[in-house]
């Protein structure tokens, strides 16, 4: 039975500490994409509620799941905003 070298098994482990090129995803792009995803989930939930109320072929559990998903996404976005504001306030207090 041959024993393989560590590099042959998982070359990603060896390169963990090395950063050859900078990360292309900037924080503002990630935040902008997340905000658009939250908006999309809100719109999808609203459309499902309207379809259900108008009597279209929509299951009640689908409406409830979409509503809870939109609610959870919005709560997460608000927490990220609150933590960002707190961080900014702490940084401004440190500079004084």
So what's the pLDDT on residue 16? 55
Here the tokens at position 18 are 């090395």
Dump pLDDT digits (tens) for 23-71.
666 777 888 899 999 999 999 999 999 999 999 999 999 999 999 999 9
* Closest to 44 measured CA to CA, from 71, 8, 5: 71
> What span, in angstroms and rounded, lies between the C-alpha atoms of 54 and 46?
12
Residues 38 and 77 sit within 8 Å (Cβ to Cβ): yes
Residues 38 and 74 sit within 8 Å (Cβ to Cβ): yes
> What span, in angstroms and rounded, lies between the C-alpha atoms of 76 and 68?
12
So what's the pLDDT on residue 28? 73
Query: What three-state secondary structure class fits 2?
Result: coil
């Amino acid at each position: 039975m041959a024993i393989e070298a560590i590099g042959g098994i998982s070359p990603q482990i060896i390169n963990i500490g090395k950063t050859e090129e900078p990360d292309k995803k900037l924080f503002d792009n990630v935040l902008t994409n997340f905000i658009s995803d939250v908006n999309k989930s809100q719109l999808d939930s609203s459309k499902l509620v309207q379809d259900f109320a108008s009597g279209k072929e929509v299951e009640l559990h689908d409406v409830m799941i979409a509503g809870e998903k939109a609610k959870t996404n919005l709560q997460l976005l608000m927490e990220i905003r609150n933590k960002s504001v707190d961080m900014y306030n702490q940084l401004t207090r440190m500079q004084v």
